Structure 1
């Protein structure tokens, strides 16, 4: 029997603050978590195989007419992210005409890289998409893009490559925050499960608040399960934003505008927000 809500969860540590204190026992047999990498969750959402979850913000734009974003939830950063890296054999200033391998787990970040290198550096780049194994990606390419825990582990291993944080590059060129994922829900689910959806949404928000107030248990958890230094994990989560306020929305809408200018999207997207009580608002770029 299918449960009432099928909820996606990205298989990366960057979403854990929203899930860490989620009170799953409250919902008994009403919800099911489906854990996948971003690109796979994007596809599952588009096929109607999950009802809500953190999908790539680029995928939201591709299906904006079918989705609504849950208010005040995202994976964003206003500068350095710490888990979205371009690994290059040579400085970024020498990458014009290069071949770059892209991870097959991402949608937002691969297009963010294309925007940065095309719009801000005016480069012509040849792209290939591969499994996120850095050594294999760099066998024939000049640089490689990794995201999430794959990127964190690659940086931890070190090496003599040039490493660039895409959130940092975006902020340097635009001054904007960047939103990589937003919690989206399919519109038909709103009418069918609005009461349960409101409870789930509130539980996500409560988990986010509790993690922010007391991050130590989360830091201990990721240190135990993913290794690394506790202070490094603390800095990583401090740099991430899981809100979706004006700062995050404005930066995301500018990203959509840039993507449309380069033909990556057919047109700039807008973001419809939903929150408990059914209030829905539309966000457009005003500056």
Structure 2
């Protein structure tokens, strides 16, 4: 693997660029080349679930980070999108699931336990249940992981699980009815769904434009290196997650989208429109991508 020629934040006396890393399996191909030294960098890396990273970059404690798509939609004045980086799917994703003890039609008015780790997935769940299935459950927020809540006695008829937790629950016999939110979005809209994006704080870009541009390029380089070595990523992940076979992990990676191309941008804009229609945001923002400075207006 070739290393980058320069590393942002590595100049003498310069503060390292602070980078947020989602602590889920799905981003391993993006971050592992950085962490393994395939791509040299000077980042200060902070890990956590999406909701934590959203709060950190909103508070100015990160310069650039993966974040929930809804975080950008709610605060577009704070961020610019990094080009060519996203985490999404065009169809089943397997790691964003509604798991239910009863058929979906019987969830009207029933309690659904919702993870607090991803606000994007929680909003998407409400949108598709109402728009596609005509069901309006009562949602109950869960402070921590849903499996932890279940272990402590939560017996809600259904739950929203994301990331590694969803991968663990997808074969759980207690939940014979499951809804893959990536799949239902694709079937409904014909578009990919973008669960997460990478953003830079506008203030950081204004203060350190060259370093932030270099940091964005390094992340894209790392993504390309990881995707090119996807078989190695699957083998590594099978050691980290022994409950999943290498074949399962390889299929999982194969369902993911790591780009922010034209179709992904259309899917993201369609989601932002839905957020506005359902009252999550006042109006759908344009997509302001670093280095392009030409927003792509949200459209129906």
Give your verdict on TM over 0.5. Answer: yes
SS of residue in 2 equivalent to 1:71: strand
Q: Following the alignment from structure 2 to structure 1, what is the Cα–Cα distance between the partners of residues 171 and 272?
A: 32
Q: Structure 2 residue aligned with 1:44, among 53, 56, 63?
A: 56
Does 1:215 find its partner at 2:230? yes
Q: Following the alignment from structure 1 to structure 2, what is the Cα–Cα distance between the partners of residues 270 and 213?
A: 31
- Residue 264 of structure 1, CA deviation: 1.2
- The aligned counterpart of 1:259 is 275
Structure 1, 207-216 or 262-271: larger mean CA deviation:
207-216
Mapping of residues 1-287 of structure 1, within 5 Å: 3-22=15-34, 23=37, 26-27=40-41, 30-130=42-142, 131-134=144-147, 136-137=149-150, 139-227=154-242, 228-274=244-290, 278-286=291-299
SS of residue in 2 equivalent to 1:127: strand
User: Is 1:88–1:162's contact at 8 Å kept on the other side of the alignment?
Assistant: yes
- Residue 94 of structure 1, CA deviation: 2.2
Please, which runs of 5 or more residues in structure 2 have no aligned partner? 1-12
Q: Deviations over 1:228-254 (max 9, x none)?
A: 111111111110000001111111111
Coordinate RMSD, CA, aligned: 1.9
User: Is 2:146–2:159's contact at 8 Å kept on the other side of the alignment?
Assistant: no
Aligned in 2, Cα 1:286/1:257: closer, same or farther, shift over 3 Å? closer
User: Is 1:3–1:31's contact at 8 Å kept on the other side of the alignment?
Assistant: no
Aligned in 2, Cα 1:2/1:143: closer, same or farther, shift over 3 Å? farther
User: Is 1:51–1:189's contact at 8 Å kept on the other side of the alignment?
Assistant: yes
| TM-score normalised according to structure 1 size | 0.92
Q: Following the alignment from structure 1 to structure 2, what is the Cα–Cα distance between the partners of residues 34 and 205?
A: 18
- Residue 135 of structure 1, CA deviation: 6.8
User: Is 1:86–1:166's contact at 8 Å kept on the other side of the alignment?
Assistant: yes
Q: Following the alignment from structure 2 to structure 1, what is the Cα–Cα distance between the partners of residues 246 and 38?
A: 27
Alignment: residue pair count? 282
User: Is 1:79–1:177's contact at 8 Å kept on the other side of the alignment?
Assistant: yes
SS of residue in 2 equivalent to 1:20: helix
Q: Deviations over 1:31-71 (max 9, x none)?
A: 20000110011111111111111100001111101100000
Aligned in 2, Cα 1:61/1:282: closer, same or farther, shift over 3 Å? same
